[in-house]
Amino acid sequence: MVNHQETVGDSILFSRVSLQGDCCGKQGLLSMIIDYYSHTEYRPTREQIERDRFVFFGLIRCQPWMVIPAGILIQFCYGSVYAWSIFNSPINRLVAANPDEPNKGSAEITFYIALGVLGLTGAIFGPWIETNHPRKSGIIGLVVFFSGHLTSALAVYMRMISLLYFGYGLVAGIGLGIGYVSTIDAVSKWWPRARGTASGCAVMGFGGGSLAFSAINKWLIDNTNLPLTFLILGSINFAVMLISVQFICPPPPGHNPDGVVVVDEGDETTAATTTRHAFGRDGADAEKGRRPRALAALPSAAQRQTLSVSLAEALQSRDYWLLYMAFLANIVFCLVVISNLPRLIDGLFGMGARNPRQPPLPAYIAVSIEGAFNMFGRVLVGVMSDLLGRKTVFLLLLAAQIVVLVFVPIAIHAGSFWGFLGLVWAATICYGGGFGMIPAFLSDMFGINNTSSCHGIILTAWSIASIAGGLAFTGIVNNFLAHGAHAYDERIYAVNFAWMLAVVLIGFVCCLFVRASIRDRMFPALPNQILRLRVFGRVFRVLGVRAGRSGASAEEPCADSSRQRCRLRTRFAEFEYLTKAEEQAAWEEYLTLRAVQHRLMTEHAAG
């Protein structure tokens, strides 16, 4: 396979002009992996498209709204994994001859394994999920998830903790990873103009499951036994998901843009090009001495001018990994707090406090309310991202957590129980909101065909944050306690919140440098450019002063921001804030150069 490559900045954008070459026979492991991560497009047959017009075993005509309640119910069942803490004490008492030694705490490892496998599964199976029917991957996910519950029932019956790690941690974790990614991305594809809202609604089900199954698991354990609890729980989940997945199907061809749309944000026109379609027209304009036209936004998604980006190309972009770091930073604080909130409440404001007392609100109620804020944040932030833009909202989430982490130690020092809980609940909205909007963010940046794959890989940040963050928090606490500190010692939490604050600050900076627009990623840097950012929809850049241009500083005031450029020149650098008109002129000049370059290379290949 021969690919024509065009390198722009640090992104490599491919225009496939020939599909035959001398590497077709070299199918080594590396080439197979590259090929697997380079083709992530679902290509249904005409017969499959006709079958997808009806759902629920072909009895009901498919309607776009149906996928949202179906997705919520499926995610609700998968969310039962977050209620695992209810099983810890009963399992530890069952498998250990002495409930305190030596196996105390061994059941908790199951939860960490499941989350770690979830992220790894999403990263491995993401391309396969994208290239197959979502109902197929959904059914496989729920069957594997159910098998994990059956294996877990056998494990607790035989009192084998290693079999429990395999059954619920590995097997159920694989099913969870496949089902989580396939469901959310299938739902979001039906709503190209409201992806944040759609994915937020679907992920809301996951938060609801974590809230509801805490009570369900407790009731089953109290009224049956552990093996039967896993059997009943797995059977309920299997039945609900098997019915719900029958309403999951892909949208018809042309429902979504075939690639990433190149949009002039804040304008009513779409200045777009594509390596597969638009260069011919732009080249003709260039040949006649005209600039490419600003193309009016077309009503049909299938007709909008786009740029095709493969998964392999997306993963070569620094913007993906900057977003990865921002996502990890957004979830690390609440992942630690979710698993330790009862401990924090008891040690700081309850019976373990300096002055032992009953806290104003029982810990289990505080955890339930936190789950409600988690659910609410997933939908709220998804809607906000559709209205205000993904990057803007993500920066707001990280900024809010910075404020929380600054004031939480102050609330602890002041002994303010409600201040502490209020800050934690506010951060929980940000935590849930990150999960709600990240599928839409990835779809906007790298195309709908890469959503499952990019989403699956970025979920490994979930695994890293939960495991590494939890171990770091616990390690610091245990170190202080081993040196004579008490659970109410403020230093323990000051140190923990300090490293979390550093992580969130790094994530904020990373998000600031994410080029969320395909135009920003394509636009070539000037030879002396040091930095370029988009601030309030306009380009801000810093240029190094060339030799011979240094001197007294000069400033051009910005009286009318819509018509005049802001420029500040110092001895070492120039600072420019471009107007929309200046940016558009430079963009059209760049498109002309790309069109001419493409025509010359095509003529050279033909000759």
- Residue 179 or 554, more confident: 179
What pLDDT was estimated at residue 366?
A: 83
Q: Considering only CA atoms, which of 176, 183, 181, 174 is closest in space to residue 70?
A: 183
Q: How many other C-beta atoms can be found within 10 angstroms of the C-beta atom of residue 129?
A: 31
Among 66-70, 145-149, 353-357, 422-426, the range scoring the smallest mean pLDDT is: 353-357
CA angle centred on 564, ends 563 and 567, rounded to 5°: 155
Q: What 8-state DSSP symbol labels residue 334? A: H
The span from the CA of 88 to the CA of 110, in Å, is: 9
Band (pLDDT 50/70/90 cuts) for residue 139 is very high
Q: What is the mean pLDDT of residues 110-138?
A: 90
- Residue 531 or 547, more confident: 531
What pLDDT was estimated at residue 239?
A: 96
What pLDDT was estimated at residue 5?
A: 36
Q: Name, in order, each residue with C-beta under 8 angstroms of 417's C-beta and a sequence gap of 6 or more.
A: 349, 359, 360, 361
Segment 534-591, tens digit of pLDDT? 777 788 888 887 655 544 444 455 544 444 568 888 888 888 888 888 888 887 887 7
Amino acid at 41: E
What pLDDT was estimated at residue 85?
A: 79
Alpha-carbon 405 to chain mean position: 22
Q: What is the CATH topology of the domain spanning 46-247?
A: Growth Hormone; Chain: A; (1.20.1250)
What pLDDT was estimated at residue 279?
A: 33
The span from the CA of 464 to the CA of 590, in Å, is: 40
How many Cα neighbours within 13 Å face the side chain of 32? 3
Band (pLDDT 50/70/90 cuts) for residue 179 is very high
Residue 368 burial (C-beta neighbours within 10 Å; 0-12, 13-18, 19+): middle
Tokens standing for 515?
């080029």
Tokens standing for 124?
């491995």
Task: Specify whether the CB–CB gap between 526 and 573 falls below 8 A.
Answer: no
CA angle centred on 554, ends 551 and 558, rounded to 5°: 160
The span from the CA of 175 to the CA of 180, in Å, is: 8
On the question of a common fold for 46-247 and 311-518, the answer reads yes
The span from the CA of 430 to the CA of 317, in Å, is: 26
* Residue spans of alpha helices (H) in 190-225: 195-223
Task: Specify whether the CB–CB gap between 382 and 206 falls below 8 A.
Answer: no
Q: Name, in order, each residue with C-beta under 8 angstroms of 471's C-beta and a sequence gap of 6 or more.
A: none
pLDDT at 141 over 80: yes
What pLDDT was estimated at residue 323?
A: 96
How many Cα neighbours within 13 Å face the side chain of 429? 17
What pLDDT was estimated at residue 546?
A: 67
What pLDDT was estimated at residue 29?
A: 82
Segment 155-165, tens digit of pLDDT? 999 999 999 99
Band (pLDDT 50/70/90 cuts) for residue 262 is low
Task: Specify whether the CB–CB gap between 145 and 78 falls below 8 A.
Answer: yes
Domain boundaries, the chain: 2-36, 46-247, 311-518, 527-606
What pLDDT was estimated at residue 335?
A: 85
The span from the CA of 394 to the CA of 439, in Å, is: 13
Q: Which residue has the tokens 């249904």?
A: 44
CA distances from 226 to 88, 150, 165, 243, 339 (A): 11, 12, 15, 26, 22
Amino acid at 140: I
Task: Specify whether the CB–CB gap between 149 and 234 falls below 8 A.
Answer: yes
What pLDDT was estimated at residue 351?
A: 75
- Residue 342 or 468, more confident: 468
Q: What is the mean pLDDT of residues 33-56?
A: 86
Residue 429 burial (C-beta neighbours within 10 Å; 0-12, 13-18, 19+): buried
pLDDT at 146 over 90: yes
Q: What is the mean pLDDT of the chain?
A: 80
What pLDDT was estimated at residue 584?
A: 81
pLDDT at 295 over 60: no
Give percent above pLDDT 90 in the chain.
Answer: 36
Task: Specify whether the CB–CB gap between 133 and 475 falls below 8 A.
Answer: no
Q: How many other C-beta atoms can be found within 10 angstroms of the C-beta atom of residue 96?
A: 18
Strands (E), 199-330: 260-261, 269-270, 295-296, 306-307
The span from the CA of 435 to the CA of 400, in Å, is: 16
Q: What is the CATH topology of the domain spanning 311-518?
A: Growth Hormone; Chain: A; (1.20.1250)
Task: Specify whether the CB–CB gap between 190 and 71 falls below 8 A.
Answer: no
Q: What is the mean pLDDT of residues 515-529?
A: 80
- Residue 400 or 366, more confident: 400
What pLDDT was estimated at residue 268?
A: 34
- Residue 26 or 214, more confident: 214
